[in-house]
Amino acid sequence: MEKKFKRILIVLVVVVGIVTLPNFINSSDGEKMQLSISTPQEDLVREVFSYPTGNYEGKVERITLRANGDIMFHGPQIDGAYKNGKYDFNPSFRHVKKYIESADLALGNFESTTAGGTPSGYPVFNAPDESLETLSKIGYDVLATANNHALDKGKNGVVRTIDKIAENNMVSVGTYKEPGENIYIAEVENIKIAVLSYTYGLNGMESMLSSQDREYMVNLIDKEKIEGDIKQSKENGADFTIVFIHWGNEYQLKPSSYQKELANSMFQWGADIILGSHPHVIQESDIIYIDGEAKYVIYSMGNFISNQRRETLGSIANSTHTEDGVIVDLVLEKDFVSGDKRIVGVNYIPTWVNRTGSNGNFHYEVLPVRDALKGDYNDYTKAKLQASYENTMGKMELYGEIGANK
């Protein structure tokens, strides 16, 4: 997998709220250093990362990983992208392309299939192949495909989606053509990152697979399997293990007790980062300490792009929040002499889906909210952008230390 790997600069121009994790080593009196949390500020320039004294020596590498939630292609999006006999989704992502392509490793939840034939949206998702061409062009490396729509077009849909993702120089995780393919490890600047993916269910379509195929084709949430996969990823040399998980309750702004319990279990098993999807709204993020080591979870990253919005969901609770998404920017570090590995920074890039047009002819674009607020949008749109920003960043606060040493 080719990628334009870039080193992370020590000084960053910050366009969103930042959480810096300067050191997670317990002091001699048993107290852990506290997280430094900054609130969003206008064009803040600050030194984000500093090397801890006396703890690292030799060669140290840092990489940036960016991830987002549900990438969906509903019927109106597909219709709006059709022009001159072909589909063009590039305009929908032109404003966020710079954030995706500049990551060392970019991940998203592809909540559709590309089964070929006539494209369709909800309830049976089948996106045009051009959707994957666009996602590859803007810089995605890995797409999570274990979600409740993975079997919308049956076994052939699963297989063809995997093939089309590969044809576009990306990797799918969570769905597989053969048994034993479920541990994927990316290598970026010699740092090895395992990416695993699981879903709570398949909308009752499990019967479309034989009992043998159900054993491996789509990763379902199974605690014993997840624990085994996490531990296997470490045995296979992963420095960091990411779990991209499709869980939770739709349109709920807070994670369930089940999500929190499962997240803690996955951290105990060895996961380092948990990226949640499925609720279609953003849920809180947190840092959890396991044996003094910081782990990161965001319970739901919301919708990155979809037709779910206040105009289409009507009276459904929290419908306005379905327009909100977030790109999570994680900075990971490894010392190749000591072998120490850690998360050194967490940044957030809030996004909002803008829909324009009328009479069934709509166009969609993902807007980085901070950038858009400075752009040439009318007051009505800017009011929506401001509300989206506040909704998102209000959930990105941390909720205290949880873990072995609390």
> pLDDT of 231-275, one tens digit each?
999 999 999 999 999 999 999 999 999 999 999 999 999 999 999
pLDDT-derived band at 86 (thresholds 50, 70, 90) equals very high
Of 58 and 297, which is predicted with more confidence? 297
- Please report the pLDDT score of residue 3 as a whole number: 55
Whether the pLDDT of residue 298 is over 80: the answer is yes
- Please report the pLDDT score of residue 314 as a whole number: 84
With b meaning 16 or more CB within 10 Å and e meaning fewer, what string describes 342-377?
bbbbbbbbbbbbbbeeeeeebebbbbbbbbbbeeee
* pTM of structure: 0.86
Whether the pLDDT of residue 23 is over 60: the answer is no
Q: Which domains does the chain have, with CATH numbers?
A: 11-393 (3.60.21.10)
Q: Is 217 helix (H, G, I), strand (E, B) or coil?
A: coil
Amino acid at 253: L
The model's pLDDT over 193-228, given as tens digits with 9 standing for 90+, comes to: 999 999 999 999 999 999 999 999 999 999 999 999
Q: Give me the helices (H) in 245-334, please.
A: 257-269, 310-313
- Please report the pLDDT score of residue 24 as a whole number: 36
Under DSSP, the state recorded for 53 is T
The model's pLDDT over 91-150, given as tens digits with 9 standing for 90+, comes to: 999 999 999 999 999 999 999 999 999 999 999 999 999 999 999 999 999 999 999 999
> What is the rounded average pLDDT for all residues in the chain?
86
- Sequence-distant (6+) residues with CB within 8 A of 203 are 148, 149, 151, 152
H or E element, residue 144: strand 142-144
- Please report the pLDDT score of residue 180 as a whole number: 87
What backbone torsions phi and psi does residue 342 show, to the nearest 5 degrees?
A: -160, 160
**What are the structure tokens assigned to 9, written together?**
């600069």
What angle, rounded to 10 degrees, do the helices at 154-167 and 129-137 form? 30
Residue that is written with structure tokens 């858009």 in the block: 372
**What are the structure tokens assigned to 211, written together?**
């009992």
Q: Is 22 helix (H, G, I), strand (E, B) or coil?
A: coil
